[in-house]
Chain A
Amino acid sequence: MSVTTAGTDPTAAVSRQGHYAGAATRLAAFAVDQTAITSVFAIGSAVAAWVIALITADEVKWDPDAAISGLVFIFWWFTYFAYPWSVSGKTLGMALLGIRVVRADGASAGPRHAVVRALALPLSFLTLGIGFLPIIFGRHRRALHDKIGGTAVVYSWDARGARWRFLARQQENDPTAE
């Protein structure tokens, strides 16, 4: 992630707040979320093993192929997505990329929509990625799990703040410039 200089306008491609989000942004947000899920799970597993070893004096090793590990990971994965969507409509990655989950009509997504969407999300992968294609070719850019959950993903990033920061940076670097 490169730091933007004052010479380039970060709002050259301004977000469309409330418009359907595109595939690249959603993919980037999902990548961030997956990284966070995996990292947190790995760190959490290590901490748990260390605490158990500290208490029982026995060395604990997590087997990724073990059923218990898989169940814990799935539960963590489901919780990571469902809870933030039901509360704020956005996960960590979505917040960074400036997108959020809403109902199909634009209203805020509730717990039911969040849970159904999280449960339906694996189906888009199980269909060999075909479930994601509507994000590119669909009129409403809604993936399979969006249609099942009755949701949509929109830009929530207000580019005005970014533009003002850009102008402010320019003004600070060159006060004579208009």
Chain B
Amino acid sequence: MTRADAAADPNWGVDAALGAASIAAKVAGGVASTVITSAPMKAFGGAAKWIAQPLTRQGATVRDSIATDGVPAAKDMIRRATPAVVDAIDLDTILDAVDVQGLIGRVDVDGIVSRVDVDGIVSRVDIDGILTRVDIDGILSRIDIGSLLTRIDLNQLLTRIDLNALLADVDLNALMTGIDLNALLTDVDLNALLGDVDMDALLTGVDLNELLTRVDLNALLANLDINAVVDRLDVDGLIANTEMGAIIVRSTGGAASEALDAVRSQGVSIDTVIARIANRVLRRDVDSLPEGPPLLVEQHLALPAAGVNPTDAIDARSAPRDDAADGART
């Protein structure tokens, strides 16, 4: 401050008084320090302490009473006064006056976080205990799955999933060994499942030629019981409805074969009649009679005697032998 400025300031008097007081205080302090450390003052202090002993004891008693009774009384007074004080404080006004954003901006969040031992905190958390206290069913029951799923774009979600990478980490063998396929299949309604399958569309995409080239027909036929297959053929219908009949007629002996068939069939017919008469004469139980030698009968080489009905004259291997034999024995 220049002299011109000091002349123009209206508070110059106050400032001058304060300056003088400051200088006087410093001087007094220096004098007091010198006086206090002097020998007469020390002797005077000891005498004053001896003389003030009754006052000292009275003062200590008062201080003890304040510590004993005054502190609880003060706490009680503070407890009673605090609600009124809090009510009197307008927090909104205070908070409006605080620049919260500026305050946050001055906080070093990264520094704080870096000083936090997250692993230690997590390791101290009893996750199982927390989960056992959670009512999962209650939570799920409050969730509207339908509306939740309608809000999810599954296509978008799936496009973000790398299924190859996901499946690469899956041990399918271990997964399959843990699956009880029998139990799984017993619960599957295959008819309903196949009913929904568009077989035409499915077969359209199948290259049967390629498929057949991969089939080991020799192994397949090795396991095939050709005799059983032939036995199931409706040869009668096949001959009656196809050109096989004409082929058979041309390839067989014709009249000679038919004559032989006639002679043999007549012989069998006469045998049947004779056996029937003999059984009636002897009153023999027809069912108890052996049909033929055990080895031939057990091997099912015998053909049935189907009576006079041509439609019954079929292979014994596909017809109940007992029923057929009754016609011959009775």
Contact = CB atoms under 8 A, between A and B. Distances in A.
Interface string A98-121: 100011111100000000000000
B252 interface: yes
A113 B270 CA distance: 28
Nearest to A163: B313
Contact of A20 (B249, B274, B290): B290
Contacts of A167: 236, 239-240, 245
Contact of B240 (A96, A107, A178): A178
B302 A19 contact: yes
A139 interface: yes
A98 to B, nearest CB: 5
B65 interface: no
Contact of A106 (B245, B249, B292): B292
A13 B265 contact: yes
Contacts of B299: 18, 106
A158 B270 contact: no
B138 to A, nearest CB: 74
Interface string B301-330: 111111110101111100000000100100
A12 to B, nearest CB: 5
Nearest to A133: B278
A178 B278 CA distance: 38
A132 interface: no
Given A17-B316, A19-B305, A103 B268 contact: no
Interface string B244-263: 11111100100101111111
A88 B257 CA distance: 21
A9 B294 contact: no
B220 interface: no
B267 interface: yes
Contacts of A18: 291-293, 296-297, 299, 301-303
A71 interface: no
B303 A160 contact: yes
B268 A107 contact: no
A139 B304 CA distance: 18
Interface residue range, chain B: 35 or more
Interface stretch (A21-29, A33-41, A56-64, A78-86): A21-29
A177 interface: yes
Given A23-B271, A25-B268, A164 B292 contact: no
A4 B304 contact: no
A23 B239 CA distance: 34
A143 interface: no
A113 B264 CA distance: 26
A69 to B, nearest CB: 33
Interface string A136-160: 1101100000000000101101111
Contact of B265 (A11, A158, A172): A11
B274 to A, nearest CB: 6
A45 interface: no
A17 B305 contact: no
B267 A159 contact: no
Contacts of A28: 263, 267
Interface in B2-54: none
A154 B293 CA distance: 8
Contact of B295 (A12, A15, A107, A140): A107
Contacts of A140: 290
Contacts of B297: 18-19, 106
Given A14-B303, A136-B278, A171-B240, A1 B265 contact: no
A178 B241 contact: yes
Q: Which of B245, B257, B267, B292 has the most CB of A within 10 A?
A: B267
A15 B235 CA distance: 18
30 contacts: A2-B259, A12-B269, A13-B268, A13-B272, A14-B303, A14-B312, A15-B268, A16-B291, A16-B292, A16-B304, A16-B316, A17-B303, A17-B316, A18-B292, A19-B291, A20-B290, A24-B267, A24-B271, A106-B296, A152-B292, A155-B303, A162-B261, A162-B265, A163-B236, A163-B314, A164-B239, A165-B258, A168-B247, A168-B252, A178-B241
Given A13-B268, A14-B312, A172-B246, 11 more contacts: A13-B265, A17-B303, A18-B301, A18-B303, A19-B305, A104-B293, A155-B303, A159-B261, A160-B235, A164-B236, A169-B245
